[in-house]
Every structure is written in structure tokens, then in C-alpha cells.
Amino acid sequence: MAALGVLKQYAKTSIPSPSLPSSILFAHTETTLTIFDAYPKAMFHFLIMPRLLASMETAKYHNLRTLLQWDRAKAKETILQLQEDAKQVVADIEEEMVRLHGFKWKIWLGFHAVPSMDHLHMHIISSDLCSPSLKNKKHYNSFHPKAGFFLHLDEVLEWFEGDDSYYTTMSQLSASRYEPLLKADLKCWKCSASQKNIPTLKAHLQEEWNKEKRKAVSQKKRKREEEAASSTLDDANAEDNRQKKRQETLDDTPTPAV
């Protein structure tokens, strides 16, 4: 199976299928399937794509550009379906984040302006960008949330709200416009600090995530302590009220005549 066309083959596959084992397939619906990214660029990285049913025009789903230039209404419908089915994937990721690390952090949904593989797919990726598979400038800049090559889902959906001229312009997605963005200098997406090479960038990103985790876990601990203190105070107040009521009952009890 050619590497570039593997997603298209997955999209055509009936489920269940031996060609889509649990190590590849994460989830599916009647219209979409979600797979683990084979070379994840973050702790959590999935691809969600429309399934190719017999009645569908395969060529129109080649990538985001071909979809947008085909039929505006159908394109919006397809992207909204990806958004809807991605909600459960995001919920599953967040649950796993909390289970493994005790907190949850940002998850990005979006498309590469010029994808490296055939068949429309949307990335669902955690914002840490900490992964052994993130190995070079192109990898990093293709997911940098502010560099422009990674098109956030909300951003793409906004294109449909513009007039025809604006929509046509945005849907061009020309390689000559977007590919130079992959050569931008390495900068941390969180603090904008410049990084001299990939090893220093990766170490910096790991420390940024470590700080985020320490802060989140600390806040969670403090909240539990405050809730425990509040509960203790409530219990004490409740006991005081019970004591007062007992005393009031005693005070209201008539004294027997001597």
C-alpha cells in the first residue's frame, strides 16, 4: 500500500476489518473514522477523516483544497461532520489526560494547508507537541498554532461566512503561499522564545509542559484542600446548630412544680 494513499484505503475499508486493527483504528461512526497518527507529533495525536462510501466522488475528498473548490455547501457539511464526531474523540483524550497525568490541557483541531498524504483528514492533537516523532523544523512549524500552516477548524469554518470572493481566495490553499511557512525560525508557540535548534526546542517544550502540569496539579490540590476545609467548617457549623437547638428545647421545657 503506497504511503501517500494509505488514508484513502482506510477510508474505503468496511468496519470491522483485519486491515484496521485496534492499533490503527481508534473510533468510527457511519460517516467518519479516527485513527492513531502513525508518527504522532504530540502525546495525543489522531486523524479523523470522512469515510468513502460507494456513492461518494472520491476525487473531491482528496484534500481540503479539492473539497472546498468542489461544492461550498457540501464542503461545509463535511467539515461540520468532522467537528461533530471529533467531540467524542476530544472527550476520550481529556479523560486519558486526567487518568495519566492528573490534568487536561489544550487540544487543537485543524488541517494542514498543504497535506503530505492523500485524502481529507483533520488533525486532533494535544498542544504539548512533545514526541520523539517531532524531529525537524518542518514537523514543528506544521503544527505551530500561530505560524499559519496549521489551519484551525474554527478558522476554516469562518471562511464559509465570507462572500464568494473571500471564500474563493481562501480555498486556493496554494503550496507557494503556505510551504515557505514551514521554514520559519524556531520559536516556542507559548512564550515566543527563539530556539537555536530542534533539541533545544524540544527540551523547552517539555519544560513548558512540565510547568503547566505542576501548576495544574498544584491548583487541583489547593482546591481539594479548600473544599475539605469548607466541609469541616460546614460540619462544625451544623454541630453548633444542633447544640443550639438542643439547648433551646431544654429552655422551653417547663420546670416541674415543687
Strand 107-112 and strand 25-28: pairing? unpaired
Over residues 4-16, mean pLDDT:
87
Regarding whether 105 and 50 lie in a shared domain, the answer is yes
Over residues 199-220, mean pLDDT:
96
Regarding whether 128 and 57 lie in a shared domain, the answer is yes
Q: Report the distance separating Cα 103 and Cα 8, nearest Å.
A: 35
Write down which residue in 184, 209, 242 finishes a domain: 184
Q: What is the pLDDT of residue 1?
A: 42
The pLDDT of residue 252 is above 90: no
The pLDDT of residue 258 is above 70: no
Regarding whether 98 and 196 lie in a shared domain, the answer is no
Tell me whether residue 256 is in a domain. no
Q: What is the pLDDT of residue 139?
A: 98
Higher local confidence (pLDDT), 243 or 199: 199
Q: Report the distance separating Cα 130 and Cα 212, nearest Å.
A: 13
Tell me whether residue 62 is in a domain. yes
Tell me whether residue 258 is in a domain. no
The pLDDT of residue 215 is above 50: yes
Please say if 45 is a catalytic residue: no
* CATH code of residue 81: 3.30.428.10
217-231 core/surface letters (b: 16 or more CB in 10 A; e: else): eeeeeeeeeeeeeee
Cell of 239: 454541630
Tell me whether residue 218 is in a domain. yes
Regarding whether 174 and 214 lie in a shared domain, the answer is no
Q: What is the pLDDT of residue 39?
A: 96
Over residues 113-122, mean pLDDT:
95
Tell me whether residue 257 is in a domain. no
What is the tens place of the pLDDT at every residue in 46-93? 999 999 987 788 899 999 999 999 999 999 999 999 999 999 999 999
| Alpha helices for the chain (secondary structure H) | 6-12, 64-70, 72-101, 137-141, 153-159, 164-170, 175-178, 198-252
Regarding whether 242 and 129 lie in a shared domain, the answer is no
Confidence class for position 228, pLDDT limits 50, 70, 90? confident
In terms of residue numbers, what domain contains 59?
A: 3-184
Write down which residue in 169, 184, 199 finishes a domain: 184
The pLDDT of residue 121 is above 50: yes
Regarding whether 160 and 85 lie in a shared domain, the answer is yes
Which of 45, 112, 119, 121 is catalytic? The answer is: 121
Tell me the three state secondary structure of residue 45.
Answer: strand
Over residues 216-232, mean pLDDT:
83
